[in-house]
Amino acid sequence: MIDCVTIANAHLFGNALASMFRLRYRVFVQKEGWNVPVWRDMEYDQYDTPAAHYLVWRDQRGVVRGMSRLGPTDRPYMLKDIWPGMVTQGELPASPLVWEGTRFAVDADLPAATRRQVIAELVAAYAEFGLANGLSHFIGIMPPVVWRVVFKSNGWTPEFLGEPYLIDGERILPGRIAVTPESVERVRKATGLTGPVLRIFDDLPLAA
């Protein structure tokens, strides 16, 4: 299962927020070498605000082993603030119905089969979250291989918003995915998931 953790409901999840920030430190700072803010082995940035929603997968001990961050585009967000010139197809959104996904991470120490399961559940959670909250799209920026392995191979084909761009030696690409009832069903069919995977414990409705 995937839990949706926010600042407002974090008290229901023990130390899930801290565990999530520690996973980000291991993945993005230790493994990827990103130059981003760190505090006591926890990675964070300016988009970790009260509006941020974190999709987290926890193991039997409650340790976060997979996650992604979501945030609405009617307030500051990464693609618009840092790389607006990358979007050459259409306009950058500024809408409560379009959310940005960032910091998608899965613990490399998990067995390969478990990693694939975590990725599948996170993608399904994206779809369920979007449908439950009436969103039209998610947008994001990531390497082409991540778009392919994470989303397209799990039944959700992205629409790209520009050409690949080289940042610190890595090609990245802006794109978006449309939220529809059909997208949820395609993801479940592609991943073999038979029902909802997302649990939400705040003022947002839960997908049926």
Mean pLDDT of 54-65: 97
**CA 103 to the chain's CA centroid:** 6
Q: How far apart are CA 20 and CA 62, in angstroms?
A: 11
Q: pLDDT confidence of 56, banded at 50, 70, 90? A: very high
**Does residue 112 sit within a domain?**
yes
**Does residue 148 sit within a domain?**
yes
User: Read out DSSP for the chain?
Assistant: -EEEE-TTTGGGGTTHHHHHHHHHIIIIIIIT-----EETTEE--TT-STT-EEEEEE-TTS-EEEEEEEEETTS--HHHHH-GGG--SS-----TTEEEEEEEEE-TTS-HHHHHHHHHHHHHHHHHHHHHTT--EEEEEE-HHHIIIIIGGGT---EE-S--EEETTEEEEEEEEE--HHHHHHHHHHHT--S--EEE-SSSPPP-
205 vs 171 pLDDT, higher one: 171
Its pTM stands at 0.94
Whether residue 208 is predicted with pLDDT greater than 50 in this model: the reply is no
**Does residue 33 sit within a domain?**
yes
**Does residue 62 sit within a domain?**
yes
**CA 90 to the chain's CA centroid:** 22
**Does residue 57 sit within a domain?**
yes
Evaluate whether 73 touches 84 at the Cβ level (below 8 Å).
Answer: no
CATH number for the domain including 70?
A: 3.40.630.30
Mean pLDDT of 26-49: 96
**Does residue 205 sit within a domain?**
no
* Phi, psi dihedrals of residue 117, rounded to the nearest 5°: -65, -45
How much is the mean pLDDT over the chain?
Answer: 93
Q: What is the pLDDT of residues 76-102, one digit of tens each?
A: 999 999 999 999 998 999 999 999 999
The tally of domains found in the chain comes to 1
* Phi, psi dihedrals of residue 5, rounded to the nearest 5°: -105, 135
Q: pLDDT confidence of 64, banded at 50, 70, 90? A: very high
Question: Structural domain of residue 75, as residue ranges?
Answer: 2-200
**Does residue 166 sit within a domain?**
yes
Whether residue 6 is predicted with pLDDT greater than 60 in this model: the reply is yes
**Does residue 207 sit within a domain?**
no
Mean pLDDT of 1-25: 95
